[in-house]
Amino acid sequence: MPLKRGTSQATISENIAEMIESGRPQKQAVAASLDTARKSGAKIPKRSRASARRRKKKRARARSR
């Protein structure tokens, strides 16, 4: 089922819940719901690249142990 368009917290939450119920991973559901809200005009900042780099380094260190 297509995601609802809108920028309210309720709409975003409904979209996330719907995707999780249909079997999508939580992170994917959140990303897709926030992307839909951004396209609808919500002013939701993108995740910073610095935090992505920190996560990547942390995972690499954990795997090498």
Q: pLDDT (tens digit, 9 = 90+) per residue, 3-17?
A: 999 999 999 999 999
Helix pair 26-39, 9-21: axis angle to 10 deg: 140
Looking at residue 19, its pLDDT comes to 97
Looking at residue 56, its pLDDT comes to 86
Kindly tell me the sign of the dihedral angle through the C-alpha atoms of 31, 28, 10, 39. positive
Task: Please tell me the pTM assigned to this model.
Answer: 0.70
Looking at residue 64, its pLDDT comes to 83
**Per-residue pLDDT at 36 exceeds 90:** yes
CA distances to 37, 46, 47 from 19, in Å: 15, 20, 20
For the chain, the structural domain boundaries read 9-64
* Residue 49: pLDDT band with limits 50, 70, 90: confident
